[in-house]
Amino acid sequence: MKKTLLTTAIIATTLVSSAAVFAEATVTPAQTTVHWVGSIADVIPGDNIVITGVSGAAEIPTGDLNLETNGTFDSTEIGLETHDYDETTQTIGIEMVEATWTLQSVDYSWGENQVSNSVVEVFDTASATPTTALAIGVEIPSTKQMSLKVTNAIPLDISDITDTTASAKVNVTMTAAFPA
């Protein structure tokens, strides 16, 4: 009886342990925040991938907003690429790699005010559908590079514009990860 219980306990432990060994590890995706006007973009490398500027540039340039006094705008484009990344040596790979990109957030502010009644759209002008706006949370598979542009075609409520001399700013946060 004791041998049967011991054998059963050993088999159960082995089965539970083997499932943990073969479970997929969670991989942290790369992330960047792209700014139009005002500051340097924040790049947070993933475990094995990084988002860069054009030609693998470590610094992503700031774009320009072509802003109207009513709050509408379009922008210059900001080019992004995905590259292999060695976390240990902090080395960016030379060749671009395909990744699954996701638009995480879009924020629009005018001076100190967060603008809430606008419809800021983000476009990837390098894609097969450059006139289709990207949607938050929707994955864009098998993509090596993007050329992002932002627009707001809807005039703001005048109460949102308290200081017409202030700078407007749009922040777009994108992530990129290797396909699962």
Average pLDDT over residues 70-78: 90
pLDDT of residue 8: 47
- pLDDT tens digit string along 86-120? 999 999 999 999 999 999 999 888 777 667 768 89
Between residues 79 and 165, the one the model is more confident about: 79
pLDDT of residue 67: 85
Output the average pLDDT for the chain.
82
| Structure tokens that stand for 90 in this block | 């902090």
Whether 69 has a pLDDT exceeding 80, the answer reads: no
Percent of the chain, pLDDT > 70? 76
Other beta carbons within 10 angstroms of residue 2's beta carbon come to 6
Beta strands in the chain (DSSP E): 30-36, 42-44, 49-52, 65-67, 73-75, 78-86, 91-96, 99-110, 113-114, 120-124, 139-143, 145-152, 168-177
pLDDT of residue 31: 82
State the pLDDT confidence band at 177, using cuts at 50, 70 and 90. very high
DSSP state, residue 64: -
Whole-model pTM? 0.75
- pLDDT tens digit string along 3-51? 554 444 455 555 555 555 556 678 888 887 776 664 556 788 998 999 9
Other beta carbons within 10 angstroms of residue 121's beta carbon come to 17
Alpha-carbon distance of 35 to 60, in angstroms, equals: 9
